């Protein structure tokens, strides 16, 4: 039972106000033994669903949460999914359908009736090929949240001319927000933010080595950007993609 069904029952005088409040309260959380309290109404509150992080979870627990959420809400999204988790999802999905996004390490379980209305346009850019997996996480996330996504990869500042036709196309397509991923020196997001009026989300990536490696220099460079730039944490592809979708759909 979902909140709309409860409200319709109250509207049609099938349940009392007190009963409606009690049933809505029960919809807020779904407990999975003593391991998880699934926030089933997050999408109703903030417009974005809860993603299930695979990293750090036991495979059995991860699979249970994914199935429980999909059956309750029609779809579940798993991020940073490892090989074993993927295999067990596929093996134990039952009547649910499964999508697997290899480059992004994102798994989706859904019912057949699940459909996503497409609205909003997002651009995803990454500086180097090594940044691609995190950029893909942002791209797939925005797509799963209903946006049309245009991507351009390997257009870093070492060959700055490569970004010019990309930005021209994005302006022509009326892209509403950009996610720009970069590791090493993290120069591309500030440069892009200074070349377009499209809002830019900087996504630092943990590529690079030595002093300032693992995304640290990239993060600090973006935080110190002179051009107007919003920045998420290192390797936070889901966060960048979800926020981009929220902006594009507003």
Q: What is the pLDDT of residues 155-186, one digit of tens each?
A: 999 999 999 999 999 999 999 999 999 999 99
Residue 15 has pLDDT above 70, yes or no: yes
Pairing mode, strands 75-79 and 51-53: parallel
Among 110, 140, 170, identify where a domain stops. 110
Q: pLDDT band for position 97 (50/70/90)? A: very high
Q: pLDDT band for position 19 (50/70/90)? A: confident
pLDDT score of 11: 80
pLDDT score of 34: 63
Please work out, in degrees rounded to the nearest 5, the angle formed at the alpha carbon of residue 189 by the alpha carbons of 185 and 192: 130
Q: Are residues 152 and 46 in the same domain?
A: no
Q: Are residues 127 and 91 in the same domain?
A: no
Q: Are residues 160 and 102 in the same domain?
A: no
The domain total for the chain is: 2
Mean pLDDT of all residues in 93-108: 94
Residue 151 in any domain: the answer is yes
Among 42, 77, 110, identify where a domain stops. 110
pLDDT score of 205: 98
Its domain, for residue 168, covers 121-248
Tokens 């022509």 correspond to 172
Q: Are residues 59 and 132 in the same domain?
A: no
Q: Are residues 101 and 127 in the same domain?
A: no
Among 85, 110, 135, identify where a domain stops. 110
Lowest mean pLDDT among 15-29, 39-53, 96-110: 15-29
Residue 191 in any domain: the answer is yes
Residue 72 has pLDDT above 70, yes or no: yes
Residue 25 in any domain: the answer is no
Residue 79 has pLDDT above 80, yes or no: yes
Half-sphere exposure of 88 (CA within 13 A, CB side): 17
pLDDT score of 71: 87
Q: Are residues 127 and 66 in the same domain?
A: no
d(CA 58, CA 3): 31
Summarised one tens digit per residue, pLDDT across range 46-69 is 788 889 999 999 999 999 999 988
Between 105 and 42, name the one with better pLDDT. 105
Residue 194 in any domain: the answer is yes
Q: Are residues 200 and 180 in the same domain?
A: yes
Dihedral sign of CA atoms 232, 139, 190, 186 in order: positive
Q: Are residues 175 and 56 in the same domain?
A: no
DSSP of the chain: --HHHHHHHHHTTSS-HHHHHHHHHHHSEEEETTTEEEETTHHHHHSSPPEEE-TTS-HHHHHHHHHHHHHHHSEEEEES--HHHHHHHHHH-TTSEEEEETTTTEEEEE-TT-------EEEEEESSGGGHHHHHHHHHHHHHTT-EEEEEES--GGGGGGHHHHHHHHHHTT--EEEEEE-TT--HHHHHHTT-SS-EEEEE-S---STTTTTHHHHHHHHT-SS--EE--TT-HHHHHHHHHHHHT-
Residue 31 has pLDDT above 60, yes or no: no
Residue 23 in any domain: the answer is no
Q: pLDDT band for position 30 (50/70/90)? A: low
Residue 22 in any domain: the answer is no
* Residue 148's CATH number: 3.40.50.1970
Q: Are residues 227 and 127 in the same domain?
A: yes
CA–CA distance from 159 to each of 162, 193, 195, 229 (Å)? Answer: 6, 17, 15, 21
Residue 115 has pLDDT above 70, yes or no: no
CA–CA distance from 216 to each of 134, 182, 228, 243 (Å)? Answer: 15, 11, 20, 22
Residue 191 · residue 157 · CB < 8 Å: yes
Summarised one tens digit per residue, pLDDT across range 119-130 is 899 999 999 999
Q: Are residues 90 and 138 in the same domain?
A: no
Residue 26 in any domain: the answer is no
Q: Are residues 66 and 167 in the same domain?
A: no
Residue 36 has pLDDT above 80, yes or no: no
Rg (CA), the chain: 20
> pTM higher than 0.75 for the full model?
yes
Residue 129 in any domain: the answer is yes
Q: Are residues 89 and 45 in the same domain?
A: yes
d(CA 161, CA 167): 11
- Residues 6 or more apart whose Cβ sits within 8 Å of residue 118: 146, 147, 148
Q: pLDDT band for position 114 (50/70/90)? A: low
Mean pLDDT of all residues in 204-233: 95
d(CA 236, CA 225): 19
């Amino acid at each position: 039972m979902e909140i709309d069904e409860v409200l319709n029952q109250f509207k049609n005088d099938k349940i009392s106000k007190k009963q409606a409040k009690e049933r809505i309260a029960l919809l807020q959380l779904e407990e999975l033994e003593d391991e998880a309290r699934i926030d089933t109404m997050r999408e109703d509150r903030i417009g974005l669903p809860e993603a299930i992080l695979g990293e750090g979870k036991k495979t059995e627990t991860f699979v249970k949460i994914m199935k429980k959420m999909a059956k309750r809400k029609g779809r579940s999204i798993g991020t940073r999914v490892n090989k074993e988790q993927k295999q067990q999802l596929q093996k134990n999905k039952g009547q649910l359908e499964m999508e697997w996004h290899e480059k992004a390490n994102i798994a989706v379980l859904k019912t057949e009736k699940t459909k996503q209305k497409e609205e909003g346009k997002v651009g995803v850019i990454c500086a180097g090929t090594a940044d691609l997996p995190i950029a893909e996480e942002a791209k797939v996330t925005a797509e799963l949240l209903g946006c049309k996504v245009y991507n351009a990869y390997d257009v870093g500042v070492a060959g700055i001319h490569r970004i010019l036709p990309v930005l021209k196309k994005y302006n022509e397509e009326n892209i509403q927000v950009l996610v720009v991923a970069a590791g090493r020196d993290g120069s591309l997001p500030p440069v892009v933010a200074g070349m377009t009026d499209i809002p830019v989300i900087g996504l630092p990536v943990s590529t690079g080595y030595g002093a300032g490696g693992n995304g640290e220099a990239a993060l600090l460079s973006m935080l110190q950007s002179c051009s107007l730039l919003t920045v998420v944490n290192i390797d936070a592809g889901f966060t960048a993609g979800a926020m981009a979708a929220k902006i594009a759909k507003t």
